[in-house]
Homo-oligomer: A and B are copies of this chain.
Amino acid sequence: MSAAAAYARDNRDRHLDELMEVLRIPSVSTDPARAGEVKRAAAWVKERLRRAGCTRTEIFETKRHPIVYGEWLAAPGSPTVLFYGHYDVQPEDPVELWTSPAFEPTVRDGRLYARGACDDKGQFIIHVNAFEAFLKTGGSCPVNVKFLIEGEEEIGSPNLEPFIAARKELLACDAVVVSDTAMFDKKTPSIVHGLRGLSYLQVDVRGTARDLHSGTFGGSVINPAFALAHIIAALKDVKGRVKVPGFYDNVRKLTAKERKAFKKLPHSNTAWRKSIGAKALFGEPGYTTLERVWARPTLEVNGIWGGFMGEGAKTVIPAEAHAKISMRLVPDQRPKEIVAKVTRAIKKLAAASVDVTVTHIHSGEGWLADTGHVALQAAARAVKKAFGKTPVFTREGGSIRVVATFDRILKVPSVLMGIGLHDDNLHAPNEKIDLDNFFNGNEAAVYLMDELGNAAG
């Protein structure tokens, strides 16, 4: 074991304490009331990068939440690796379903529970810890290091792409490393080489100027909740196939080889179903579960509301009804095109007697990388050393918008080395990170720097 790997192992407790420190900051980027907390988290990250050994650390303000940058470039001739992560988190609601409070990190049964534990504070930090391990043990690092830790990932990174485009030289590198994904399962470490894109919309349906008494007016006027239900029901059929005209037009078909590789993975529909507490699995006909979540697009209602939602009975016809609707996209679907098609479909489905507005909230493209790339192969070796098992190459159904951006603007490969698990409750109550994974992750991050240094040499 190298000195740096040993250092990572010896400093487990302190690294855990430090993680808990940043998890206590409720840096919920979507909530305007918490902008101050997001700022506080940014300051924490900057200070952590400085202490780890970065020779330059800086906070770049944006229109909303700041980007934290750090660098150490004292390894001339070695490759430069850009580590991307995000210090913002999802909202914690529904609050009442958390066993311990979302922003009071708590260890139970070898897991650390807190909002952001896995997504993404507990993941990006492993690379900071690894960098520190090299600096503290040998005063040097096998690669030049740049950190780019943003505060807007959970709201679609609206200011990151302009920042990357404007700072191409600052961010110039040979590879990007992102830890913001899940392992295939706890026994099967994995490197992710594909992600879905996302387009997120809000649909607002207005019927009347105010809520109406359902007795006095019921029958004479449209009900916007009904109008919305008719729209939603027509967007996807009861079998799970999206009915928006042209929705599947540019979907890249799975090859026979890909389908075969998916089938070889130790996936269990029963385990998948049980892990989410579903009565049955359900999805687009003709595809397996992994195909459905990794390689097929979706259209989902993320939220719906209107009228009386309290206890008991209130006899109103709601004045308005609303839905959050988002699409997960796969290569070669283009968000702009999909947003236009779905918006058109919704408008066309809208009853004449309501006003329907569709607002585009954010979008990001899907991404698919070649598993044979030198950086991906280096990561596979690092993971094997830390976790004792050769990782599999997988995809993820989620979206990390910036990966497609790095591809397009910096023209470098991304390595997605995640240490999350699928039951880590991302975006849900009781988010957690497995402590074995966190500690192994710190070591894998050390080995990755070694491997990337060697791979280029």
* A binding-site residues for B, Cβ under 8 Å: 30-32, 90-91, 93-94, 97, 155-156, 182, 196, 198, 200, 207-223, 225-226, 228-230, 232-234, 236, 238, 240, 272, 276-284, 289, 292-293, 296-298, 300-318, 321-324, 326, 328, 351-355, 361-362, 396-399, 422, 425-430
| Chain B nearest Cβ from A284, distance in angstroms | 7
| Chain B nearest Cβ from A5, distance in angstroms | 30
Chain B residues whose C-beta falls within 8 Å of the C-beta of A305 in the assembled complex: 304-306, 309
Chain B residues whose C-beta falls within 8 Å of the C-beta of A97 in the assembled complex: 210
Whether A218 pairs with B298 at a CB distance below 8 angstroms is yes
Cα–Cα distance between A31 and B308 once the two chains are bound (Å): 13
Cα–Cα distance between A225 and B322 once the two chains are bound (Å): 12
Chain B residues whose C-beta falls within 8 Å of the C-beta of A430 in the assembled complex: 210
Chain B residues whose C-beta falls within 8 Å of the C-beta of A425 in the assembled complex: 210
Chain B residues whose C-beta falls within 8 Å of the C-beta of A297 in the assembled complex: 219
Cα–Cα distance between A421 and B276 once the two chains are bound (Å): 52
Which of the residues B93, B182, B228, B302 comes within 8 Å of A214, measured between beta carbons?
Answer: B302
Cα–Cα distance between A122 and B233 once the two chains are bound (Å): 43
Whether A353 pairs with B314 at a CB distance below 8 angstroms is no
Chain B residue nearest to A309 in the complex (CB): B305
Known: A210-B276, A216-B422. A226 touches B313 (CB 8 A): no
Whether B428 pairs with A213 at a CB distance below 8 angstroms is yes
Whether A196 pairs with B213 at a CB distance below 8 angstroms is no
Cα–Cα distance between A351 and B278 once the two chains are bound (Å): 13
Chain B residues whose C-beta falls within 8 Å of the C-beta of A277 in the assembled complex: 208-210
Cα–Cα distance between A313 and B209 once the two chains are bound (Å): 26
Known: A209-B276, A308-B303, A326-B214. A156 touches B236 (CB 8 A): no
Chain B residues whose C-beta falls within 8 Å of the C-beta of A314 in the assembled complex: 30, 90-91, 302-303, 324, 427
| Chain B nearest Cβ from A425, distance in angstroms | 7
Known: A214-B326, A293-B218. A225 touches B303 (CB 8 A): yes
Whether B200 pairs with A315 at a CB distance below 8 angstroms is yes
Whether A398 pairs with B219 at a CB distance below 8 angstroms is no
Cα–Cα distance between A379 and B445 once the two chains are bound (Å): 87
Known: A225-B303, A226-B236, A293-B220. A311 touches B428 (CB 8 A): no
